[in-house]
């Protein structure tokens, strides 16, 4: 799977994007029970390791927050995904239970403090592209929330449509569902994060999906 980062984005931000393709996953009751046990242990570990009042000063979270500010997004209102998950746990709540594939990469996200997306690979068409949005473009995010873009946002697209709006979330049309068998996993690097870091975290998240949902890792690449 090829990812092209537009020159306009390159000029403003030095970022890397990692993409892994996993085929043949299975999401059943056994995987749900297994992953729920792991999530409970993870929640306990996180509460011992982090202090809610100091989360914003953790190096990786600080880097993501700085990236958000540079994109014109207030990270105190729209938090980086990994930070939002961590804060949720430190506030005494559980990690969300959604689907085994999503839960698996959420474990990796909160453990590594890295932001990921997963898409139903069969609904993704052609190569991926990271570009600035066009003024007036509209998307329907997961949950049905509509968003009109201003042209300042960074988006991930395939050859036909937007898949994700950086800092705001993934679109409804290509989300992972119970019926998903082939997954496209994306890791979002931020300025200052080396390609090797993105590659390592991408492999770790893919391994979590394989552990709980089975399947075969077909490819894993990083593009900068």
pLDDT for the residue 221: 98
Measured CA to CA, the distance from residue 212 to residue 146 in angstroms comes to 32
**Residue 53: partners with Cβ closer than 8 Å, 6 or more residues away:** none
- Answering whether pTM is above 0.75, one says yes
Q: Which residues of the chain have pLDDT under 50?
A: none
Task: Give the sheet arrangement for strand 216-223, strand by strand.
Answer: 115-120, 182-188, 17-23, 216-223
What pLDDT was estimated at residue 168? Answer: 84
**Domain containing residue 104:** 3-223
DSSP letters along 99-142, please? Answer: -HHHHHHHHHHHHHT-EEEEEEGGG--S-EEEEEPPTT-EEEBT
What pLDDT, on the 0 to 100 scale, is given for residue 186?
98
CATH of the domain at 104: 3.50.40.10
Which tens digits make up the pLDDT trace of 83-125? 999 999 999 999 999 999 999 999 999 999 999 999 999 999 9
| Model pLDDT, residue 178 | 96
Which pLDDT value is given to residue 20? Answer: 98
Give pLDDT, residue 122: 98
Residue 1: its pLDDT value, please? Answer: 84
pLDDT for 6 equals 98
Cα angle 197, 199, 204; round to 5:
95
Return the DSSP state at 159. Answer: S
The domain tally of the chain equals 1
Q: Which H or E element spans position 201? A: helix 195-213
The pLDDT score that the predictor gives to residue 175 is 98
């Amino acid at each position: 799977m090829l990812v092209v980062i537009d020159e306009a984005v390159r000029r403003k931000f030095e970022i890397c994007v990692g993409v892994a393709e996993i085929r043949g996953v299975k999401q059943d009751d056994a995987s749900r029970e297994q992953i729920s046990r792991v999530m409970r242990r993870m929640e306990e570990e996180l509460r011992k390791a982090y202090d809610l009042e100091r989360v914003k000063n953790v190096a990786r979270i600080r880097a993501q927050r700085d990236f958000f500010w540079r994109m014109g997004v207030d990270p105190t209102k729209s938090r980086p995904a990994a930070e939002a998950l961590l804060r949720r746990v430190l506030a005494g709540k559980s990690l969300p239970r959604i689907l085994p594939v999503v839960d698996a990469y959420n474990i990796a996200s909160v453990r590594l403090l890295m932001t990921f997306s997963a898409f139903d690979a069969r609904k993704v068409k052609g190569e991926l592209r990271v570009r600035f949005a066009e003024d007036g473009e509209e998307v329907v995010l997961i949950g049905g929330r509509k968003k009109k873009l201003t042209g300042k946002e960074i988006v991930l697209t395939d050859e036909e449509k937007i898949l994700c709006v950086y800092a705001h979330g993934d679109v409804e049309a290509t989300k992972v569902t119970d019926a998903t068998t082939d997954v496209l996993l994306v890791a979002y690097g931020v300025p200052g994060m080396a390609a090797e870091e993105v590659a390592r975290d991408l492999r770790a998240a893919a391994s979590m999906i394989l552990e709980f949902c089975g399947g075969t890792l077909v490819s894993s690449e990083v593009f900068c």
